[in-house]
Structures are given as C-alpha cells and as structure tokens.
Amino acid sequence: MPAPWRICCNKKSKSKTGKAEMDDMADTSDKMQMKKEITLLNGVSLIVGNMIGSGIFVSPRGVLMYSASYGLSLIIWALGGMFSLFGALCYAELGTSIVKSGASYAYILEAFGAFVAFIRLWSSLLIIEPTTQAVIAITFANYIVQPIFPHCEPPYDAVRLIAAACICSLTFINCVNVKWGTRVQDVFTYAKVMALILVIAVGLYKIGKGETENLKAPFKGSATDPGMIALALYSALFSYSGWDTLNYVTEEMKNPERNLPLSIAISMPIVTIIYLMTNIAYYVVLDMSALLTSDAVAVTFGSETLSYAKWIIPIAVAMSCYSGLNSSIIAASRLFYVGAREGHLPDSLSLIHIKCFTPVPALLFNGLMTLLYLLVEDVFLLINYYCFNYWLFVGLSIAGLIYLRYTQPHRPRPIKVSK
C-alpha cells in the first residue's frame, strides 16, 4: 500500500523565480531523507549528553556494591574508560568508512550480512534501547521526587508516572523538529557538566582541607570473585555507554568524515576525567554505608555539602537525565528507522514526516517500548540486561572492522586505528 508521506515527498513546488522545483525533502532518487543538520558542536553535545546521563548518578552505588572498596572501584571506572575509548576509536573508523546511520547494526550488516544484523536489531528493539531509556527516565523521576520525600521511599507509582511523562515529552519534541531535539541537548548538556564541575570542586576543596579519611586503606575489603568484579564493570560500562551516539545519526551530520571522529576525540577525554573526579568527590564526602544505601547519590552528596544550595543538585541531575534520555531517543529512533529501511522491521517505521523531517513512527514505537519497561521494578537488573547485550554487539562490530580490513582492503578509510 503506498505510503502517503512518501507520495507527498515527490510534490513539485514553485520557487520565487516561478520555476518548478522538486520539494527539497526529496533527493535525486525520489527517496525522502532527513536533513544534514547536526554540527560538530551538536555532535559533542550528543555524545557527552548521552554518556553523562543517569549512569554517574546511579552506577557509583552499583560499582561500589560489587567491588566492595573505593580503590578497586576507581580502577574499574578507569578500565571502563579505557574499554570505551578503544570502542570509540574503532567506531570512528567504521563510521567514516561506512557512512550510514544505525551504528553497530549498519556495520554488522555490512560485514556479516542480514541474518546477524537482524539479530542485532531485534536485541536493540527488545532489550538494549528500551532498558537504558527506562533506567534514565526512572532516575530522572527519582531525583525529581527525592526532595519531596527526603526521609522515606518515594511512592512507586509517582516515580513511574513522572518517568512516563518524561519519555512522552521528549518523544513529542523529537517528533516535531530535529533542531528542537538538538537545542534541548545542547542546553541540558551544558547544565549537567556545570553541575558535575560543582561536585568536583567541592570534592577538591575537601581534599585541600585534608578531609581524606574515607580514602585511607582504599583497597581494604576489595572483592576477589571474578563474577562480582564483572558486575562492577558492567555498572561502570553502563555509565560510559553513549560514545556511539553519533554513529546512529551519521546520515544527518554535516561533513561526517571530519566531524564524527573529531566529536569522539573531544568527548571521550572530557567524560572520563569528569567521571573519575566525580567519584573521588563522592568518596571523599560520603562513607561507604551512605553510598550503598542511597538511591540518589548526588542528592545525598549535596545534602552533606551544599547546605541551603542543596536544591541545585536534584535539579541538575534531573536535567542531566533529561538530556541523556533525549540523545538516547534520537539514536534509537534512527536505528529502528534504518532497520525498517533495510526490511528488518515493518515498512511503516521507515516513514518520515514531510514537514518535520523526523521519523515519527520510529520515535513513537521507541517510546512505547520504553514505557513497557517501566513496569520492571529492579533498576540494576535492567542495567545488567542492557550491558551484556550492548557490549556483545559492540564486540561483534569491532570484529567486523577487522574482517572488513581483510576482505575489503581498498575501501576508503579516512580514519584508521593503528595495529
């Protein structure tokens, strides 16, 4: 059945000079495309905004719970940064040699064919994308509600309803206009970085005063069970996920051969340094029992250190989560759009609105899947589901990079990771 949105994209319009022109939403092959509107600054904001989502405010508890010591937890945070940097460099090569949206799905499709890519797509559809977005939305809601219920557990229904409202509002924004979504991303990313700089500054001030009792004997009681260490690394890697955000929207980037690797090169050091310094600040101010019993570590930190200005932290964290969820929604909707375009999802998900230039059906589908995952009560269970599947396919994409080097040695590679 012909899709009315696709039919409309072939309309002719009159220019100011009176000449008939094809509507600028159609390309030379009469296929509708999204505009190239994502700049280098937008790219850095998308990556930093997605990486610094809810993870740094949720995962410190998970990393510390499984590692059982401050020293080992900091090593695990550093290892997470190294893993992510290696993955990001490989994705920079893949993204500049395979200039398609869809990230690992597009790369696996190119390297290993449709069957493996189909599995990757449906894993994202059923597990990876909705779980990470549900975690971010729930964290957003927890931080909004926390100041109202400072001494007791916030109502479960209230948290879930606020999380649902967050998902729905961002889905609407991204349905209306790509620029609305990127502007939200830029503003909220600046706000969250400033909030984390405030946390780091307080921690450095405490260290300068010599308040380092919590960091004495940092490796005492460290976990030795490989399974526990792996779970701690899962939690850290959850916080670092998001460095592949731009690879999902490569087709919408201006000059992707330059801006994609440059965005990654700028973003990764910023995020890694911020994460390590933020965790040190947490550890200086809060003892282990306070960290392990807090569902909102940054709010507890603010209550201990900022006195009357403690309200800044919940607002900043909520803004951070809002930004992280926004970039995740942008990336996931493009993944489903590309998958439908390749025939691995219903054709309706590949439609683009003729006026807004946004993949509205893919956005709505992504929002619905995320709302369903709000019914899961255990946030850390969601994180473990997400991390295993996400990193499995990251590894497969990197294997695809190696495979393509041998099978297609003459493919143009503007960026190449050295052997």
Instruction: Report the share of the chain in percent with pLDDT over 70.
Output: 87
286: three-class secondary structure by DSSP: coil
What's the whole-number mean pLDDT along residues 412-418?
78
* Residue 57 confidence (pLDDT): 66
Query: Are the C-beta atoms of residues 304 and 286 closer than 8 Å to each other?
Result: yes
User: What confidence score (pLDDT) does residue 419 get?
Assistant: 55
Per-residue model confidence as pLDDT tens digits over 147-175: 787 777 788 888 999 999 999 999 999 88
Residue 65: band (very low, low, confident or very high) from pLDDT cuts 50, 70, 90: confident
Model pLDDT, residue 172: 93
Residue 29 scores a pLDDT above 50: no
- Confidence class of residue 23 from pLDDT cuts 50, 70 and 90? very low
User: Is pLDDT above 50 for 188?
Assistant: yes
Question: Degrees (nearest 5) of the Cα angle 180, 50, 394?
Answer: 125
24 falls in which pLDDT band (50, 70, 90)? very low
- Helix 226-240 to helix 70-97 angle, to the nearest 10 degrees? 50
Q: How confident is the model at residue 6 (pLDDT cuts 50, 70, 90)?
A: very low
The per-residue b/e assignment along 63-80, b for 16 or more CB within 10 angstroms, e otherwise, is bbbbbbbbbbbbbbbebb
Q: What phi and psi, each to the nearest 5 degrees, are found at residue 22?
A: -70, 140
216 exposed, middle or buried (CB, 10 Å; 0-12, 13-18, 19+)?
A: exposed
Residue 357, helix vs strand vs coil: coil
* Encoded tokens for 57: 């405010």
Residue 40 pLDDT: 87
Mean pLDDT of 367-379: 85
- Residue 242, φ and ψ in degrees, nearest 5: 125, -10
pTM here is: 0.75
Mean pLDDT for the stretch of residues 335-358: 86
13 - beta bridge partners? Answer: 21
Predicted confidence at residue 290, as pLDDT, reads: 83
pLDDT tens string 223-245? 888 888 888 888 888 788 778 88
Which of 82-86, 182-186, 269-273 is predicted least confidently?
Answer: 182-186
pLDDT at 33: 61
Among candidates 177, 189, 174, which has minimal Cα distance to 47? 189
- Give the model's pLDDT for residue 89: 86
Q: Convert the pLDDT of each residue in 70-123 to its tens digit.
A: 889 999 999 988 888 888 888 888 888 888 888 889 999 999 999 999 998 988
Q: What is the pLDDT of residue 373?
A: 87
Q: Which comes out higher in pLDDT, residue 9 or 107?
A: 107
pLDDT at 12 over 80: no
In the chain, DSSP finds a helix count (H) and a strand count (E) of 16, 2
